[in-house]
Amino acid sequence: MKIAQILATKGSFVATILPEASVKHCVDELRRHNIGALVVSKDGHDIEGIVSERDIVRRLAEYSGEVANLKVRDIMTTDVTTCTAEDSVEGLMALMTEHKFRHVPVVDEAGALLAVVSIGDLVKHRIEELHDERAALISYITT
């Protein structure tokens, strides 16, 4: 199973934020979109980083209430793991589990941002796949 199959149903909307934006604005955007991470990009194509709820919480432990006044560039993850639409769902799930991150930008051959997949997207897809397999097995056994 390929990431492209998930994108076919999920779509390719990507919420981005500027590196100069405040963490307060970042929190507002996460809440507004009801998501757990934003891709940091000046142009919507080139990835400068990713900022997640986890990044914010970790900085809260360091900076307490002052974190809201920091810039996204001060807290974002700059070493961003990406995937392509041709990567396998199973491989990406394993990578995300091993490295403990929940969001992966999907890029094209040139590295331009296409979409974002979350571990929730991958798990949802896998559950649907298992449901379909179960139904096929039940049908096979009963006919």
pLDDT number for residue 90? 92
Is the predicted pLDDT of residue 81 greater than 90, yes or no? yes
**Of 64 and 68, more confident:** 68
Picking from 56-65, 78-87, 99-108, 117-126, which range would have the lowest pLDDT averaged per residue? 56-65
Work out whether strand 103-107 and strand 113-118 pair parallel, antiparallel, or are unpaired: antiparallel
Q: How confident is the model over 23-58, as pLDDT tens digits?
A: 999 999 999 999 999 999 999 999 999 999 999 999
Distances (CA, A) of 102 to 36, 97, 131: 8, 8, 23
Q: Residue 130 — very low, low, confident or very high, per pLDDT cuts 50/70/90? A: confident
Is the predicted pLDDT of residue 21 greater than 80, yes or no? yes
pLDDT number for residue 143? 83
Q: How confident is the model over 107-120, as pLDDT tens digits?
A: 999 999 999 999 99
For the chain, list the domains and their CATH numbers.
3-142 (3.10.580.10)
